[in-house]
């Protein structure tokens, strides 16, 4: 899993920060999460292939998270796209999107598979061979949702030397990968743990923006490898954060701590902050493994120090 930050600013973009957009690469499949203004320009700058994006997730209907979507969908069509786009967004967005397409006489060359987000609990919205995605409610001024991307557990790895040593026929490999022992033609039982290695622990990534602090959020993302959490304001702006439905650095860190997250990535920074280093330092007083989301930077989920 690799995460690329396309935009880390809040409502107002800056000369260095675009509005919210992330791309998660999971098993060479790209998932676009939020689509603020300028997203398709950032995709080009970061050499991310448009055609590999088949799933788009919109957290909520504020402009800094969705204004870039209209241009991107139009570009897909101009490029001759035929594959459907699976669009996950708050349920009231279907009408807004259809109205926009009609108002601007846009006739897409592909279908949009719209998956509505609603409810007050976590819900699985995608399940395939490699990954599951769940949505969960956030607490903002409008209905908002977070997303948890979790790898499925892999099969065990058969040790190559053991295949020749015990003359394991290829037809037996699938069962051994699933945990079965191997029985030789002479009836000798070779324990599975002696001929296989355990798979890597599944990785996970959670996206939480925009939201004010609430205790239940940590339960939705418990044990996540990499948690992205908005930190719009510094700790002195706690009241402003509450009124606007956002979080401070310390509140983001508190959620990461309660969730037992592996690493915390903070972003959605207010345009008032040109230097965000002190925001990271504030969060680290509670959760030391905190890093800033920086436009154009990629992070390896599970090992953030090695992009």
Q: Residues with catalytic annotation?
A: 64
Structural element, H or E, at residue 250? helix 249-259
Omega before residue 238 within 30° of 0, cis: no
User: What is the spatial distance between Cα 187 and Cα 19, in angstroms, rounded to a whole number?
Assistant: 64
Given a contact cutoff of 8 angstroms between Cβ atoms, the answer to whether 279 and 273 are in contact is yes
User: What is the spatial distance between Cα 75 and Cα 84, in angstroms, rounded to a whole number?
Assistant: 14
Residue keyed to tokens 């897909």: 76
CA proximity to 168, closest of 192, 147, 151, 148: 192
Given a contact cutoff of 8 angstroms between Cβ atoms, the answer to whether 21 and 36 are in contact is yes
| Bridge partners (DSSP) listed for residue 250 | none
């Amino acid at each position: 899993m690799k995460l690329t930050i396309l935009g880390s600013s809040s409502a107002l973009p800056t000369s260095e920060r675009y509005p919210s957009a992330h791309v998660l690469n999971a098993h060479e499949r790209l998932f676009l999460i939020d689509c603020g203004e300028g997203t398709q320009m950032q995709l080009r700058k970061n050499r991310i292939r448009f055609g590999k994006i088949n799933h788009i997730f919109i957290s909520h209907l504020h402009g800094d998270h969705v204004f870039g979507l209209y241009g991107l969908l139009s570009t897909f069509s101009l490029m001759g796209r035929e594959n459907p786009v699976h669009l996950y967004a708050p349920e009231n967005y279907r009408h807004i999107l259809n109205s926009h397409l009609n108002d601007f006489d846009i006739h897409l060359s592909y279908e949009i598979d719209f998956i509505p987000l609603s409810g007050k609990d976590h819900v699985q919205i995608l399940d395939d061979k490699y990954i599951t995605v769940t949505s969960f409610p956030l607490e903002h001024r409008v209905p908002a949702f977070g997303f948890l991307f979790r790898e499925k557990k892999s099969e065990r790895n058969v040790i190559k030397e053991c295949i020749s040593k015990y003359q394991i026929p290829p037809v037996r490999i699938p069962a051994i990968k699933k945990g079965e022992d191997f029985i030789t033609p002479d009836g000798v039982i070779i324990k599975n743990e002696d001929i296989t290695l355990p798979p890597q622990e599944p990785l996970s990534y959670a996206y939480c923006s925009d939201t004010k602090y609430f205790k239940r959020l940590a339960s939705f993302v418990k044990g996540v490898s990499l948690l992205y959490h908005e930190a719009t304001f510094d700790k002195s702006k706690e009241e402003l954060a509450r009124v606007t439905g956002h979080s401070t650095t310390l509140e983001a860190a508190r959620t990461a701590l309660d969730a037992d997250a592996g690493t915390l990535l903070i972003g959605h920074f207010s345009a008032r902050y040109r230097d965000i280093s002190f925001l990271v330092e504030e969060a680290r007083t509670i959760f030391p493994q905190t890093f800033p989301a920086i436009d154009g930077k990629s992070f390896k989920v599970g090992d953030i120090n090695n992009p």
